[in-house]
Amino acid sequence: MNLRFLETFLWVARLNSFSATADRLHTTQAAVSNRIAALERELGIRLFDRDLRSVRLTPEGRAALSRAEEIVRLAQEFQGAVSSRDALRGRLAVGAIDSVVHTWLPRLIRRVHQTYPCIELDLTVDTSLTLSGHFHRNEIDLAILMGPIIAPQVETMPLGSLSCSWYAGPGMDLPEGRLGLESLAAWPIFAFSRGSKPHQDVLRHFACAGVKAKAVSNFNSIATMMILAQDGLGVTLLPDAAAAGAVTAGRLRRLDVSPPCPPIEVHAAYSNQPRNVIAAAVAVMAQEEAGTVA
CA–CA gap between residue 45 and residue 162 (Å, rounded): 52
Q: What is the CATH number of the domain that holds 33?
A: 1.10.10.10
Residues 6+ apart with CB under 8 A from 157: 267, 268, 269, 283, 284, 287
CA–CA gap between residue 183 and residue 63 (Å, rounded): 64
Say yes or no: 213 and 257 in one domain. yes
Say yes or no: 191 and 217 in one domain. yes
DSSP letter at 21 equals H
Give the torsion sign (CA, 188, 191, 196, 202). negative
Report residue 95: phi and psi, to 5°: -115, 135
Which of 33, 55, 82 is a domain's end point? Answer: 82
Q: What is the CATH number of the domain that holds 169?
A: 3.40.190.290
CA–CA gap between residue 207 and residue 39 (Å, rounded): 60
What pLDDT score does 80 carry?
A: 63
Say yes or no: 197 and 117 in one domain. no
pLDDT digits (tens, 9 = 90+) for 170-204: 989 888 889 988 889 889 999 988 878 888 888 88
Say yes or no: 129 and 269 in one domain. yes
Say yes or no: 157 and 172 in one domain. no
Say yes or no: 67 and 27 in one domain. yes
How far from 134 is each of 26, 58, 85, 137, 225, CA to CA, in Å?
17, 27, 28, 5, 25
Say yes or no: 145 and 282 in one domain. yes
Which of 36, 59, 82 is a domain's end point? Answer: 82
Helix (H) or strand (E) holding 279: helix 277-290
Q: What is the CATH number of the domain that holds 109?
A: 3.40.190.10
Q: Which residues of 234-272 are buried (b: 16+ CB within 10 A; e: fewer)?
A: bbbbbbbbbbbebbeeebbbebebeeebeebebbbbbbe
Say yes or no: 239 and 173 in one domain. yes
CA–CA gap between residue 145 and residue 133 (Å, rounded): 12
Q: What is the pTM of this model?
A: 0.73
Say yes or no: 139 and 180 in one domain. no
CA–CA gap between residue 110 and residue 150 (Å, rounded): 29
Q: What parts of the chain have a pLDDT lower than 50?
A: 294
What pLDDT score does 87 carry?
A: 57
Give yes or no for a contact between 61 and 13, defined as CB atoms under 8 angstroms apart.
Answer: yes
DSSP letter at 139 equals S
Report residue 190: phi and psi, to 5°: -105, 110
Question: Which structural domain range is residue 75 located in?
Answer: 3-82
What pLDDT score does 195 carry?
A: 76
Tally of domains within the chain: 3
Say yes or no: 171 and 255 in one domain. yes
CA–CA gap between residue 142 and residue 280 (Å, rounded): 8
CA–CA gap between residue 62 and residue 68 (Å, rounded): 10
Which of 30, 61, 82 is a domain's end point? Answer: 82
Say yes or no: 204 and 67 in one domain. no
Say yes or no: 56 and 117 in one domain. no
CA–CA gap between residue 11 and residue 17 (Å, rounded): 8
